[in-house]
Amino acid sequence: MRRHQPDYVFLVIIGTLLVFGFAMLLSASSVLGKQKFDDVYYYFKHQLFSLGFGTLFFLIGYYCYYRFFQKASLILLVLNIVLLILVFTPLGVSAGGATRWLQLGPLTFQPAELLKFTFIIYIAAFFGARAKKSRSIKEGFLPFLIVIGLIAGLLLKQPATAIFALIFITALCMYFIGGARLHHIFFLTFFIGLVLALVVMVTPYRKDRLLTYFDPNSDPQGKGYHINQALIALGSGGMFGIGFGNSMAKTSYLPEPIGDSIFVLVAEELGFVGAVFLIGLFLLFLVRGFKIARDAPDSFSQLATVGMISTIVLQGFINIGAISGLLPLTGLPLPFVSYGGTSLIVVLACSGFIANVSRYTVR
């Protein structure tokens, strides 16, 4: 295939999201860094370090011929599953009642985040090469069910329920685009939905999150404290915000100001205008990414692009919806903005792959 220039509009959107995200992280983390490490730039510098790794993986995704990932898809997924299993060995790191991290020497990362790349690549390669067989129970439905079941077991055991739900929704969309029968989609949705409902009901902290979603004022100083403080901060920003760096919520009131609550600080400091600007960037990312997928040269690149774009944008909107009270709290970070090295690296790797596909689009 003849290669041409990449989609520069898409690259500009990525760059704008990164600049905006790092600016907001600098504001959100200054107080916390000073309190814990006597360094207002502590978290910002660590995120810059992750950006260096993320840039490396962006370039790998961008310069490696995209069909290389198609050939290596099974190997990448198997390696990721091995890392997920290693989480439950002495190499695993526990925090906050969950065992989601893996420490290999000086590096600590979250293998579940890597699935947003490896699993999507595998699903795209599987159905891209079996477009006519995706409607078959034996060659399409059962292999998909086995793989998603294995990943579900490993993620729910950590637990990383929100990441599994995100990956499952994305994979289901890819399965549908790949030509699956509707009754297969309905069965998978019902079955996984039933499993998730049972997991929520038998796990106290998940059940508490769901009950708090329906009645956040039932325990405003306990289970409902997080969402109530978030809503107060959201409302205090008004139209134009109280000014960059002037957030009151980040000082002592708002839990996780640099993590899943960072959108609250965007709305508080930059107001409704800043929040809409960020949401608009994600919408542009979605539209431009789907345009690249529409013009992709083959089924694999089309499915992989749709999957990666959907995962990133869906995660962003779930984060915004959860911290705004529209959805139950999940703990998913806001892509490009929240503090978290593994998340940023994976998002940049996916972005590099999509930009790579944009160089081969058929106009």
* pLDDT tens, position by position, 115-148: 999 999 999 998 876 656 666 677 777 888 888 8
Tell me the residue type at 288. Answer: R
User: Between these two residues, 205 and 115, which has the higher pLDDT value?
Assistant: 115
11 pLDDT band, cuts 50/70/90, is: very high
Three-state SS for the chain is: CCCCCCCHHHHHHHHHHHHHHHHHHHHHHHHHHHHHHCCCCHHHHHHHHHHHHHHHHHHHHHHCCHHHHHHCHHHHHHHHHHHHHHCCCCCEEEECCEEEEEEECCEEECHHHHHHHHHHHHHHHHHHCCCCCCCCHHHHHHHHHHHHHHHHHHHHHCCCHHHHHHHHHHHHHHHHHCCCCHHHHHHHHHHHHHHHHHHHHHCHHHHHHHHHHHCCCCCCCCCCHHHHHHHHHHHHCCCCCCCCCCCCHHHHCCCCCCCCCHHHHHHHHHHHHHHHHHHHHHHHHHHHHHHHHHCCCCHHHHHHHHHHHHHHHHHHHHHHHHHCCCCCCCCCCCCCCCCCHHHHHHHHHHHHHHHHHHCCCCC
What rounded mean pLDDT belongs to the chain?
Answer: 88
What is the mean predicted confidence (pLDDT) over 200-212?
A: 78
| Average pLDDT of the residues in 213-222 | 76
Q: Which pLDDT band, with edges at 50, 70 and 90, does 363 fall under?
A: confident
* CA gap 336, 18 in Å, rounded: 6
Work out the pLDDT band at 191, boundaries 50, 70, 90: confident
Torsion of CA 91, 92, 95, 97, to 10 degrees: -140
Higher pLDDT, 181 or 230: 230
pLDDT the model gives residue 132: 60
Among 196-205, 264-273, 316-325, the range scoring the smallest mean pLDDT is 196-205
Residue 319 placed within a domain: yes
Predicted local distance difference test score (pLDDT) of residue 161: 83
Residue 207, pLDDT score: 79
The model's pLDDT over 303-332, given as tens digits with 9 standing for 90+, comes to 999 999 999 999 999 999 999 988 888 878
Distance between CA atoms of 300 and 235, rounded to whole angstroms?
44
Residue 336: pLDDT band (50, 70, 90) is: very high
Residue 206: per-residue pLDDT: 76
Cα distance between residue 29 and residue 241, in whole Å: 18
Asked whether the CA dihedral 95, 100, 106, 107 is positive or negative, the reply is negative
Token duo for residue 100 = 């989601």
Locate 86 and state its tokens: 């290693």
Give the pLDDT confidence of 88-103 residue by residue, as tens digits.
888 888 876 677 888 8
Does residue 29 form part of some domain?
yes
Higher pLDDT, 261 or 94: 261
Residue 53 has pLDDT above 90, yes or no: yes
Is residue 273 over pLDDT 90? Answer: yes
- Within a domain: 2: no
* Position 166 in a domain: yes
Segment among 82-86, 217-221, 335-339 with least mean pLDDT: 217-221
Contact 133, 140 (CB under 8 A): yes
- Please tell me the total count of domains within the chain: 1
Query: Is residue 363 a part of any domain in this protein?
Result: no
pLDDT at 204: 76
Does 331 fall in a domain? yes
Distance between first and last Cα of the chain? 12
Q: Is residue 1 part of a domain?
A: no
Q: Which two tokens stand for residue 214?
A: 């329906």
**What's the confidence (pLDDT) of residue 46?**
93
Q: How high is the pLDDT of residue 21? A: 96
Burial of 245 by CB count in 10 Å (0-12 exposed, 13-18 middle, 19+ buried)? middle
Residue 26 above 80 pLDDT? Answer: yes
Q: What pTM was computed for the model?
A: 0.92
Place of tokens 């690249």: 292
| CA proximity to 76, closest of 123, 110, 108, 109 | 123
- Between strands 107-109 and 92-95, the pairing is unpaired
- CB atoms near residue 176 (< 10 Å): 15
Q: Which residue would you say has higher pLDDT here, 252 or 342?
A: 342
- Per the domain annotation, does 3 fall within a domain? no
Residue 328 lies in domain: 8-358
Percent of the chain with pLDDT over 70: 97
